[in-house]
Amino acid sequence: MTDIITLTGLVATSPRHIVTSEGLTITSFRLASNQRRFDRTQNAWVDGDTNWYTITAFRQLGTHVASSVEKGQRVIVTGRVRIRDWESGEKSGTTIEIDAESIGHDLTWGRATFTRSVIAAKAEGTEGATSGAEASSDSGDLPPSSDRAAALDADEPVLEFAASGASTPF
């Protein structure tokens, strides 16, 4: 059975982004999560113990995390828990890893701007698949149409960003 957990905390390390030789995108970082509580005897907020997690995001989520999340930001992570014991010489310990299903900024602590990405795949009649994004040709985030067409001809997915206000079916 797989346990699902939701965590909030600080991104403690700069996200490490790699692409394997098989083309799998992986981004990982360490997350520090601690509890604060009000101590009535001291009449002050005190920090509790810090829990440390290794967060790993794969495929498109990994790509988005690499371009969106930075060290020091507060995030919310939901994913599958893996607890592993390790040994290295005389040292041993336990690592808690989270295979992320979703990651986002914790809006309790700030604001974020969302940009939806769209993957255009090669298929018969794909002309309508990107028409909503192409209709907003004033966006600097979109690649030129010729680049999209060349990538579609090469059987590779194309990552596009929908312009603000563009009609997107969710």
Cα separation, 145 vs 135, whole angstroms: 11
DSSP strand E in the chain: where? 4-11, 16-19, 25-39, 44-58, 74-88, 91-105, 117-120, 158-161
Taking only the tens place, the pLDDT of each residue in 65-113 is 999 999 999 999 999 999 999 999 999 999 999 999 999 999 999 998 8
In the predicted structure, residue 153 carries a pLDDT above the cut 60: no
Average pLDDT value for residue range 45-56: 93
Q: 161 or 18: which carries more pLDDT confidence?
A: 18
In the predicted structure, residue 149 carries a pLDDT above the cut 90: no
Q: Say what the pLDDT of residue 107 is.
A: 94
Q: Say what the pLDDT of residue 36 is.
A: 85
